[in-house]
Structure 1
Amino acid sequence: MESMISKETLQALIPQKAPFVMVDALYRFGENALTAGLTVTEGNIFTTEGKFTEPGIVEHMAQSVALYTGYQYYLKQEQAPTGYIGSIKEVSITRLPENGEKLVTTVSVLQEFMGITLVDIVTSINNEPIAKSQMKTVLAK
């Protein structure tokens, strides 16, 4: 699977900057969904002893949501507002990714209203779900 946009463009669409960038690919974008990715590397700040840690997975999920919003604004040729995580619930992580593995994360929008977005998120490796969550994000005014 190849990214729809360059890493440079992708990084311009999220507020995080290196070394805190936890998405490196945008695979699909639709009206109510996005699929993003990350290849786990030894140099990642959330990698310990060859494994990508739980906080890294949750941050990857959150940045995938940020990428959804950023790409929406990019398509409209507008500057994306900064967003914040309003809540995270139902986080389930069944295994930690190892160096070299590719995370593929699908964000499914359940509701969007007045700058608040509620999403379901599933992160997989080789089509095997390894993490699930539900997040609510809020755009800054």
Structure 2
Amino acid sequence: MENKLPILDKKFVGNLIPQKFPFVMVDKLLSFSENEVTAGLTVSEENIFFNDEKFQESGLIEHMAQSVALFTGYQFYLKNEPAPTGYIGSIKSIEILQLPKNNEEIETTVNVLQEFMGVTLVDIVTKLNDKEIARGQMKTVLAN
């Protein structure tokens, strides 16, 4: 596949992260640069984190973390290397202002603040219709 963005092929995007169905919380790679990625997800009532007519907080946090994984996965794809598995090392802060509903499309932008020896510190902002609905900061750690 070309390195042309955005990438809207769910299967291709899913192959860039270590998580597999039904635990995939990103389905679009909208933009990518050296220190930033924007990922998307169309919320579905089929999603394991969908309950009570909404995408739950835990799903939103997982979507944010998988957006970080997508950044790393796409970096490795561009180098023609397999993506490593990573973990949430810590969550410094998460603020959730609104929960998306069925068929709504969320976009999450990850801004890499620091990357050192497999540890990545990021700021994350999630939007729905250009309105911020969540933000946070977390560290992710690559497995050896």
Q: TM-score, normalised by structure 2?
A: 0.94
- The residue that corresponds to 1:30 in the other structure is 33
CA RMSD of the aligned region, Å?
Answer: 1.1
- The residue that corresponds to 1:135 in the other structure is 138
- The residue that corresponds to 2:100 in the other structure is 97
State the one-letter code of the partner of 1:46: F
- Deviation at residue 8 of structure 1 after TM alignment: 1.5
Q: Percent identity?
A: 64
Q: For residue 99 of structure 1, give the secondary structure of its aligned residue in structure 2.
A: coil
Distance between the aligned counterparts of 2:14 and 2:43, measured in 1? 17
State the one-letter code of the partner of 1:128: K
Post-superposition Cα deviations, 1:66-120, rounded to whole Å, max 9, x if no partner, equal 0000000000000111111100121000011111111100000000011110000
- The residue that corresponds to 1:21 in the other structure is 24
- Deviation at residue 49 of structure 1 after TM alignment: 2.0
Post-superposition Cα deviations, 1:9-57, rounded to whole Å, max 9, x if no partner, equal 1111111111110001000000000000001111111111210000000
Q: Give the 4+ runs in structure 1 shifted more than 3 A.
A: none
Q: TM-score, normalised by structure 1?
A: 0.96
Where structure 2 has 5 or more consecutive residues not aligned to the other structure, the ranges are none
Where structure 1 has 5 or more consecutive residues not aligned to the other structure, the ranges are none
- Deviation at residue 5 of structure 1 after TM alignment: 5.0
How many pairs align?
140
Post-superposition Cα deviations, 1:121-140, rounded to whole Å, max 9, x if no partner, equal 00000110000010101111
